Amino acid sequence: MQESTKKNNLVIEICNLSKGFDNQLVLKNLSLNLMDGENLVVLGKSGSGKSVLIKCIVRLLNADQGSIHVLGKNVNELRSKELAKLREKIGFLFQSGALYDSMTIKQNLEFPLIRIKKKLTKKERDEKIEEVLVNVGLGETLDQMPSELSGGMRKRASLARTIIVDPMIMLYDEPTTGLDPVTSNGISTLINDVQKKYKTSSIIITHDIECARATADRIIMLKDGDVYMEGSIDDFENSTDELIQSFFKEKT
Ligand SMILES: Nc1ncnc2c1ncn2[C@@H]1O[C@H](COP(=O)(O)OP(=O)(O)OP(=O)(O)O)[C@@H](O)[C@H]1O
């Protein structure tokens, strides 16, 4: 890790990031930090560049300009092998989840373990799978297929599959979308549990104000490709800014 990163407790440091497609500039000179151990919620209207932002962080998309340091590494300058190593430390929970439909839940969790935690014995793998599933409240689903689980359970299983390889950073892309309010609250609680138990630092993209309320240590709102406002949930809820008010009114 770079000295500056260690000193400031930053796990992600983004400076003047720009990213566009054809004629459309999506991110414009955006700067942003993620501190060690914090849950940072990213809000913003549909199309404001939230997903593009996290895809640039793991270099699923290449930045046009600016720098992105993750755990002290400049992601834009990494060779593919180093990038793969860095990605092993980042858990990415996509909107759709990432379970293989033809595998049982156990096989789904075993798959990344075999690939990344090569030194574990079969017994250690089985213990780890059991432990992580219990931690996400799915202790009884080892031999079930993803199709046999509810939407909320599939989200939990996807999360288990992500955290089983001990990521240091979690990137959640709309973790509660499509779930009913009770199930959504359960996922928000789980995000906090993961933060505490696995000491992760997280970026949580969401449209769900309840999820933001439950999980955020800090919130940023994106608009026109840049950070429009940054603050605590109280700062946002008490804001007199029209855009912020309308966003919160619309969503509550
Ligand atoms: N690979 C791509 N090629 C071209 N345009 C893209 C690509 N990915 C994203 N975009 C465009 O970038 C803009 C921002 O997209 P992004 O998915 O980041 O929005 P978002 O804020 O995550 O929206 P939502 O809340 O609806 O998920 C959109 O106009 C989208 O069409």
Q: Which of 204, 151, 215 is nearest to 180 (CA)?
A: 151
ipTM: 0.96
- pLDDT at residue 97 tops 80: no
The pLDDT of residue 251: 57
**138 CA to centre of ligand 1 in angstroms:** 33
Domain of 123?
37-48+88-251
**Number of domains the chain is built from:** 1
- pLDDT at residue 184 tops 50: yes
Residue owning the nearest CA to atom 5 of ligand 1:
21
The dihedral formed by the CA atoms of 55, 232, 198 and 10, expressed in degrees to the nearest 10: 60
The predicted-structure confidence for 144-181, as pLDDT tens digits, reads as follows 999 999 888 988 899 899 999 989 999 999 988 888 88
Is position 232 within any domain? yes
93: domain CATH number is 3.40.50.300
The pLDDT of residue 247: 80
Task: Pick the atom of ligand 1 nearest to 44's CA.
Answer: 21
**CA distance linking residue 154 with residue 148, whole number of Å:** 9
Three-state DSSP class for residue 88: coil
21 touches ligand 1 (CB under 6 Å): yes
51 touches ligand 1 (CB under 6 Å): yes
Q: Which residue has the higher pLDDT, 176 or 17?
A: 17
User: Does an H or E element contain 173, and which?
Assistant: strand 169-173
Contact 30/228 with Cβ under 8 angstroms?
no
